[in-house]
Structure 1
Amino acid sequence: MQIIPVLDIKGGVVVRGMMGDRANYRPIETPLAASSEPVAVAEGLMALHEFPAIYIADLDGIEAGRPNEVVLDALTARFPNTDFWLDAGLRSKGEAEAMAARRGIVPVVGSESVESVEVVRHLAGRIAYVLSLDFRGDALLGPPELIEAPEIWPDRVIVMTLQKVGSGQGPDLARLCAIRQVAGERHVYAAGGVRHGGDLEILAGEGIAGALIATALHDGRIGPEEIVRLS
């Protein structure tokens, strides 16, 4: 089970994600860092464990097409051995390919942002990237054809349930299992709702490869010893 910490970044700072209500996200307050400055928060997370990958939701990129370039450069410079899975609202194949060329960045193509299923079809086998299937309620955000074409998905697929983010309600197990059934040999990652190690053990038992986690790391419900054990 791969544990991937999450940094939600808006306006140059890390914010606390809460059930996809992005308009009301506020700068994070965490015992892991003295401020909400992204490098400081990432350092706090890395003090828990040397995570090989960190997921970034660049909300300015997703919502307004203005990625936090200075923040991204600072993070990749500070952690040169870390892969940053970056969702910055990539819409086209050109944007995804350009992002893949950046040092330390693994582009995340989110279904809510991508302009058409043909972008995903084009990228198949061309670049190393992560696909995020983004759900709000029961609806897939983005091209509906995408959920019906697992043969064009990359090796890593995130199942993002926005209303579960920061909710403490537990992961969206039924949907994760359904996606896992059609994903073949691909690695499926849970995003949203993970509360504690017990949730991760259940996910691992269902063949889920990893989970994106923020709140449970900051609150201490998943700590260093548990991270090592579950990893």
Structure 2
Amino acid sequence: MRIIPVMDLQRGKVVHAVGGQREDYKPLKTLLARSSDPLSIAIAFRRFGLKELYVADLDAICSTGHNLNPIGQISSQNMLGLIVDAGFRRADEVESYVKKGVKKIVLATETLGGFNEVSKVIAKYGVQVVASIDIKFGRVIAKSRSMQLPLAELIQKFEAEGASEVLLLSLDRVGTAQGPNHAILENTLSYATVPVLVGGGLRDITDVRRLQVQGASGVLVATALHNGTITKDDLYHL
């Protein structure tokens, strides 16, 4: 079971994401580091024993800027495998992040222009693609009409274009500690042939174990790490 910490970047700082209301996010307060500086928190994650890092570039997602510099700083340390979501709409928008050393790109239903962008990214840049199915209150959020499909068809189309993993991201549950959406995971696992990751609402190690039993390959975690609900010892015994 992969435990993947999440870093939400806004104006060069790490913020605490809650419920997908990005305009209301505040600077992160964490037990793991003394500041909300991205590199400090990335180092803290590595010391925690974690090997991957999911980064959401919120300024890029909201089309108000980007956080390429802190992402590049973290990447240059070669301590965590980066998975980056920057609200990519087209394949060519990936290039500046790939140049920073990012090897795994998130293409999300919330922003992506079409399924064929997945295979374009893979062919042009040689990176892996995580297909993020963005969900609010049980419904898929999709920018493109071509993606306004039942869950099974969405997954099949992403897989056909070459996505190496699927992420179920419950945006309304992010940072809320309401618990993951177990029902949607069960449905997804019956369709997917690639590894499935889950994000949003994780409360504690009990949630992680239940997701593991269900068949999830990994889970995105933020709040439960920062407030100490999930400890290094918990992960050691997982």
The two structures, once aligned, show a CA RMSD in angstroms of 1.9
Alignment of 1:80-159 (within 5 A): 80-96=78-94, 99-100=97-98, 102-120=100-118, 122-123=120-121, 127-142=127-142, 143-145=147-149, 147=151, 148-151=153-156, 152-153=158-159, 154-159=163-168
The alignment partner of 1:96 has SS state of helix
The alignment partner of 1:225 has SS state of helix
CA distance in 1, matches of 2:214, 2:107: 24
The residue number in structure 1 matching 2:58 is 59
The code of the aligned residue for 2:70 comes to V
The code of the aligned residue for 2:233 comes to E
CA distance in 1, matches of 2:38, 2:216: 28
The CA deviation at 1:22 is 0.7
| C-alpha contact 1:117 1:145 (8 A) present in aligned 2 | no
The residue number in structure 2 matching 1:225 is 233
Q: CA 1:127/1:71 → structure 2, altered by over 3 Å: closer, same or farther?
A: closer
* Cα deviation digits, residues 182-231 of structure 1 (max 9, x gap): 102x110110011111111110111000100001001111111111222x
Structure 1: give runs of 5+ residues left out of the alignment.
none
The residue number in structure 1 matching 2:74 is 75
Q: CA 1:115/1:65 → structure 2, altered by over 3 Å: closer, same or farther?
A: farther
CA distance in 2, matches of 1:121, 1:56: 22
The residue number in structure 1 matching 2:202 is 194
The CA deviation at 1:94 is 2.1
The CA deviation at 1:100 is 4.1
Alignment of 1:167-206 (within 5 A): 167-184=176-193, 186-206=194-214
CA distance in 2, matches of 1:108, 1:45: 20
The residue number in structure 1 matching 2:5 is 5
Structure 2: give runs of 5+ residues left out of the alignment.
none
TM-score, normalization: structure 1?
0.91
TM-score, normalization: structure 2?
0.88
The CA deviation at 1:41 is 1.5
| C-alpha contact 2:5 2:54 (8 A) present in aligned 1 | yes
CA distance in 1, matches of 2:154, 2:75: 33
The residue number in structure 1 matching 2:39 is 39
| C-alpha contact 1:57 1:88 (8 A) present in aligned 2 | yes
The code of the aligned residue for 1:84 comes to L
* Cα deviation digits, residues 89-144 of structure 1 (max 9, x gap): 11112223664454244111111111123323545776412111111112211121
CA distance in 2, matches of 1:72, 1:84: 9
Q: CA 1:146/1:83 → structure 2, altered by over 3 Å: closer, same or farther?
A: farther
CA distance in 1, matches of 2:226, 2:215: 26
CA distance in 2, matches of 1:146, 1:118: 18
* Cα deviation digits, residues 64-94 of structure 1 (max 9, x gap): 16221111111112x3142110001111122
The CA deviation at 1:46 is 2.1
Residues 113-122 or 68-77, more deviating: 113-122
| C-alpha contact 1:170 1:193 (8 A) present in aligned 2 | yes
